[in-house]
Amino acid sequence: MSVELSVPGPAGAVDGRRKRSEASRLKIVEAMIALVREGHTLPSAEAVAARAGVGLRTVFRLFEDMDGVYRGMQAALAEEIGALLEAPIVAPDWRAALDILIGRRARAYEAMLPLQIAADGQRHRSRALQEGRARLVRNQRDMLLPILPPAVVADPVRLDALDLTLSFDAWRRLRMDQGADVDGARAILRHMALTLIGEG
């Protein structure tokens, strides 16, 4: 009886290395996220490598620098909360739609709070982080427009005020600087929004 041995060719070897690299990249990003959520706003490369269970050289082989790790973290964050923030809102009227939007944003903002603070600390020197931030701001506004009464959309001052009121920045101020808890911050956003619309 003859036995044939299959020896992986160059293509198989390359594919295996690629899969290992992708797995290591994921471990590094997950380690970064875990450290930030534990309160380490600016974790070192050494700390990230140790948490991920990889060598320091692996971190900088897969990511050019720590900004690359932050970009990976931002991409993971966008994937995690994007579906929640950007899902269509179905409601009988604008008041119910506004309540749904505020509830979704409260959950998303709370999940992203420590990660976004960490990313913002690096944003001034990272074009990718700046672009990610601009995309978040743009998407927030785009989701707001369809649910507001036409008279509010036609009023640039009120529209800009509402956009700011329901932004991540307002949430961060309420939670981090003013000491509001999650329910309190959500109630404050709702009160401000209804007041601006003229229903407060």
For the segment 132-156, what is each residue's pLDDT rounded down to a tens digit?
888 889 988 998 999 999 999 999 9
Confidence at residue 4, expressed as pLDDT on a 0 to 100 scale? 40
| pLDDT at residue 103 is higher than 50 | yes
Q: Give SS3 for 20.
A: helix
pLDDT over threshold 80, residue 125 = no
Selected residue with higher pLDDT from 79 and 104: 104
Run of H or E residues at 39: none
Mean pLDDT computed over 52-74: 87
pLDDT score at 75: 82
Whether the per-residue pLDDT at 87 is higher than 90: the answer is no
Phi, psi of 88 (to 5 degrees): -60, 145
* Interval 100-125 mean pLDDT: 87
Cα–Cα distances in angstroms (integers) from residue 119 to residues 67, 73, 143, in the given order:
9, 8, 23
Q: Please state the separation of Cα 155 from the chain's center in Å.
A: 29
CA dist., res. 88 & res. 100, Å (int) = 10
The residues, ordered by sequence, that sit 6+ positions from 155 with a Cβ below 8 Å of its Cβ are: none
Which residue intervals of the chain are DSSP H helices?
Answer: 10-37, 45-52, 56-62, 66-86, 94-122, 127-144, 150-153, 156-165, 168-172, 182-197
Cα 48 from Cα 33, distance rounded (Å) = 9
- CA 36 from chain centre, in angstroms, equals 13
pLDDT for residue 13: 58
Give the per-residue pLDDT at 7. 44
Contact 114, 73 (CB under 8 A): no
Has residue 2 got a pLDDT over 50?
no
All residues at 6 or more sequence positions from 148 whose CB lies less than 8 Å from its CB, including other chains: 94, 98, 159, 162, 197
